Amino acid sequence: MMSFVSTPAVPATPAVLPGRADYPHFLAIPTRWMDNDVYGHVNNVVYYSYFDTVINEHLIRDGGLDIHDGSVVGYCVESQCRYLAPLAFPETIEAGLRVAHLGKSSVRYEIALFRQGEDAPAALGHFVHVFVGREENRPTAIPAAIRACLERLKP
C-alpha cells in the first residue's frame, strides 16, 4: 500500500510577519458599506480589489501608465491572499506595496493591508503582472518609466 504525504498548496504564514517599515509605498483605501458581507466584515474577494487599487494607483501616478491609450497593459496572471485579521466598514485600510521580483516583462508585488495606526498586517498577498503590448497582446519589456517606479519599490 502506498501512502501519500500532502503538502500545503500555500506556504505557511511566516513566523515573523512584515510590518509597515517593510513597504515603501502606501495608499489609504476607505472601505465601503458594500464591502462588508453578511458576517459583518470585508468579504474575501474585496481584498483583491484593494490589491489591484494600490498597484494601479502607483503605476498610473508614479510610473505614467496610460490605462486608456498606452502601448502596454499589465495583466494579472497570479494573485494570492492570506487573511490574518478581519477588516470591516467603516475603516480606512492602509495598503502597503513593495516589489519582490522584477523581470523583463513581469513583476511580482507583495501587498500588506493594515488597519490605520497598526503595525501588524490584517492581510498579506502577492500579485503578478505581465506587461503585454496592447495591439499584439504578447509579453513585452516593461517601459522605462514604469520600470523606474517599480525599482523604487524594491527592498
* CATH, residue 118: 3.10.129.10
| Average pLDDT, rounded, for the chain | 92
**Model confidence at 32: pLDDT above 90:** yes
Bridge-based pairing of strands 123-133 and 106-115 is antiparallel
Domain that holds residue 73: 20-151
Contacts of 49 (CB under 8 A, 6+ apart): none
Q: Quick check: is 13 in a domain?
A: no
- Residue 15, in any domain of the structure: no
Average pLDDT rounded to a whole number, residues 87-114:
98
DSSP codes, 112-148: EEEETT-SS-SEEEEEEEEEEETTT-SB-PPPHHHHH
Give the mean pLDDT of 95-123.
97
Domain count, the chain: 1
**pLDDT tens digits, 55-83:** 999 999 999 999 999 999 999 999 999 99
Answer yes or no: is pLDDT of 148 > 60. Answer: yes
Residue 13, SS3 per DSSP: coil
pTM, rounded to two decimals:
0.88
Whether 87 maps to a domain, the answer reads yes
Do the domain assignments include residue 113? yes
Cα–Cα distance for residue pair 39/63, rounded to 1 Å: 38
Q: Is the residue at 8 inside a domain?
A: no
Inside any domain, residue 56? yes
Would residue 14 count as lying in a domain? no
Cα-based distances in Å from 94 to 8, 27, 122, 146: 29, 6, 10, 23
Please report whether residue 50 resides in a domain: yes
Nearest-angstrom CA–CA distance, 153 and 53: 16
